[in-house]
Amino acid sequence: MERQEEHRHFDQLLFFVVIALMGFGLIMVYSASSVTSMRDMSDALYYFKRQAMWVGVGLLAMFMFANINYRKLEPAAIPLMILSIIGLILVLLVAKEISGARRWIRIAGIGFQPSEFAKIAFIIYLARSIALKQEKIHDLVKGVLPDLLLTGVLFALILKEPNLSTAAIVGATYFLMLFLGNGSLLHLTWMIGAGLTLVSALVFSEGYRMRRFLAFLDPWESSQTSGYHIIQSLIAIGAGGVWGLGLSQSRQKFFLLPERHTDFIFAIICEELGLMGESRLSCFISY
């Protein structure tokens, strides 16, 4: 028998898009954070250098996993899932509270979020579990409930941080994986109903979540409190217009828009590059 060599297809266009997005991200992180870095760290490149370090780590990880057959990850699915649950428990016990939440664990000065690791481990685990249960995937008790219970455990641990958005992503991940894994349409339908009901109840069960939701609907009603971020981001987007103010020319980054180099960096991109720059970025991301 002739030895068949494994041929790997290298998508050059996808690789170019990923590298281009990384480079663009570095540029915009520097532009959005330079003022904050200078004020807080006396170094305009502080956040840029941190981001560049993680870009380097990400590239090394990308090249490493690109040369690993994904099927070889199957034996690691359960150990990774166990590590994820341990990490999610530890973050609740030992993590320092930041802005009312416990999400980061720091080791030797390097911080990471167990919930981010858990999302990857969860996908690997589900891929293995659903593949092994194809013959009984339509059986509610044997095919759905075991993974649904695990989803509930992860959801509850992440929600406790609290981090409703990431918890909701975990729930949506199971729904999508079950759909792709030939799950029952009946099961998927009631999951949608139950999920929307649960998330709605959780939003209105906490005052700060409800205020954020209402601020999204009408930010000017609470312009100096929960609606402030949204209004300032809209001002940035509007100031950019079609062509933008120019790279590094943002005015909102001068301490008017909070979280300008993290959660609200998209507003800075729109302000500096305008609608045309944002549209090109969207095309890259859509690819």
Q: How far is CA 267 from the centre of its chain?
A: 18
Cα–Cα dist 43/280, whole Å:
31
Q: Is 96 exposed, middle or buried (0-12, 13-18, 19+ CB in 10 A)?
A: exposed
The pLDDT value recorded for residue 213 is 85
Cα–Cα dist 271/248, whole Å:
10
What number of CA atoms fall less than 13 Å from residue 218's CA on the CB side? 2
Q: What's the first-to-final CA gap in the chain, in angstroms?
A: 41
The pLDDT value recorded for residue 74 is 93
The pLDDT value recorded for residue 10 is 73
Cα–Cα dist 66/197, whole Å:
39
The pLDDT value recorded for residue 205 is 87
Q: Which two structure tokens, joined as six digits, stand for 242?
A: 């079609």
Which parts of the chain have pLDDT scores under 50?
Answer: 1-5
Q: Which two structure tokens, joined as six digits, stand for 140?
A: 């509610």
Q: Which two structure tokens, joined as six digits, stand for 267?
A: 């507003």
Q: Give the dihedral of Cα atoms 201, 202, 203, 208; nearest 10 deg.
A: 140
The pLDDT value recorded for residue 286 is 61
The pLDDT value recorded for residue 5 is 45
CA dihedral (286, 188, 83, 101) positive or negative: positive
What number of CA atoms fall less than 13 Å from residue 47's CA on the CB side? 21
**Angle 175-197-262 from CA coordinates, rounded to 5°:** 70
Residue type, 127: A
The pLDDT value recorded for residue 23 is 92
Q: DSSP alpha helices (H): ranges in 101-254?
A: 114-132, 145-159, 164-180, 185-205, 207-217, 228-240
Which residues on adjacent β-strands are paired with residue 111? Answer: 106
Q: In this structure, which long-range contacts are made by residues 61-64, counting pairs with CB atoms below 8 Å and at least 24 apart in sequence?
A: 62/18
**Chain segment 19-28, per-residue pLDDT in tens:** 999 999 999 9
